[in-house]
A and B are shown apart, each in its own frame.
Chain A
C-alpha cells in the first residue's frame, strides 16, 4: 500500500460510508413504496370480498408501480455493487463516461435534497483511462459536492467527459454561483491528495462557471 492509500484511507472510508448510507436510504424508499402499493392491493382485494367491484385497470396500474419500484431498487443495488467493486484494483482501465454516470447516479439523492439537477452529457465516443477507480470516484464526488454548492440560481450542474489534444478531462459546467464561492477554498488538501494520486489537475474557471478536471491517461508506475 502506497502513501496515497495510507493518507486517503480515513476520508475514503468516510466517503464510502456517506454513499452507502445514501444508497440504503434510497432502497428503503423503494421498499416503502412497494409496501404501500402492495398493501393497497390487499386493501382493494379485501373490499372486493365485501362486495365492492374491483377495477382491473386499477390493479394493472398498481402492479405496474410495484414492478417499476423493483426495477428502481435493482438499479440502485447494481450501482451499489459497481461502487463497492471500485475498491478492488488500485489501478485499472475504466471508461470515463461510465464512471461519471455512476457518480451522478450515486449523487442523485444529495442533489435532489438540495434542489439541484445533475445534467449528464454522454461522451460522443468512449474515453478509456487507466487509473485508481476508487480515488477517481472519491475525487468526482468532492467535485460534484462543491459544484452543487456553486450551482447558483440555475440549480443545474452539467457533467461531461471529453477527449482533448492534451488528454481526457471532465468538466462540471453551468456553475453560475462559482464567482461567489470563497476564493482559494477549493481544491483543499483532501482534493489535492487525490489529484496527486491520480496525476490529475483541477482548474477552477470562475468566468466560464466551470470546474475542469484534467486526468492522466495512465497512472501505472
Chain B
C-alpha cells in the first residue's frame, strides 16, 4: 500500500507517516495541496489521506484535482473541525465511515485504509 498524507501540520503529518511506515505502509507526506499535486505527477499512490481544511485549497477541492490525475486513487479525510455542517459535506464526499476526526487512533486509521482499498 502506498499512501500520500496531506496536512499543513508538518510535525503531525511527518510523525504519522513514520508510524505508518513502522506498520509496513509506505507513506509520503506533503504540507500543501500544491505539493500534493506536484507529487502525484511523479509517484503513484493507492490512497490519499487529506486534511479537510488546508491553506489556500480545501481538501475537498484537492480530492477532485487528484482524482483527475489518478482516477483509481482512494481517499480518507481527517479534520480538526467539529462542526456538523463540515461533517455532512466531508462525509458526503468520503462516506461517513471514512471521515475521521483528529486526533486519530492509528489502529482505526489503518483499519479504515484497508477497508477503503478493499472496496
Contacts and interface: CB of A to CB of B under 8 A. Distances in A.
Contact of A33 (B15, B18, B22, B83): B15
B22 A43 contact: yes
Given A31-B103, A35-B103, A36-B16, A47 B55 contact: no
Contacts of A114: 55-56
Interface string B64-104: 00000000000000001111000000000000000001111
B108 interface: no
Contact of B19 (A25, A29, A31, A43): A43
B46 interface: no
A69 B82 CA distance: 20
Q: Which residue of A25, A33, A47, A65 has the most chain B CB atoms within 10 A of its CB atom? A: A33
Interface string A1-36: 000000000000000000001001110110111111
Contacts of B11: 33, 36-37, 65, 69
A28 B80 contact: yes
Nearest to A42: B19
Say which size band chain B's interface belongs to.
20 to 34
B62 to A, nearest CB: 13
Contact of A37 (B15, B53, B80): B15
Nearest to B101: A28
Given A43-B22, A112-B55, A32 B103 contact: yes
Given A21-B83, A28-B80, A29-B80, A36 B56 contact: no
Contact of A113 (B15, B53, B104): B53
B55 A32 contact: no
Contacts of A167: none
B6 to A, nearest CB: 14
B17 to A, nearest CB: 9
A33 B55 contact: no
A126 interface: no
A143 B52 CA distance: 27
A190 interface: no
Nearest to A27: B80
B49 to A, nearest CB: 12
A154 interface: no
Label chain B's interface by main secondary structure.
loop
Contacts of B101: 28
A115 interface: yes
B56 A113 contact: yes
B81 A25 contact: yes
A39 interface: yes
Interface of A: 21, 24-26, 28-29, 31-37, 39-40, 43, 47, 62, 65, 69, 112-115
25 contacts: A21-B81, A21-B83, A25-B53, A25-B80, A28-B80, A28-B81, A28-B101, A29-B9, A29-B12, A29-B80, A31-B102, A32-B12, A32-B103, A33-B11, A34-B103, A36-B11, A36-B19, A37-B12, A37-B15, A39-B15, A40-B19, A65-B11, A69-B11, A113-B56, A114-B56
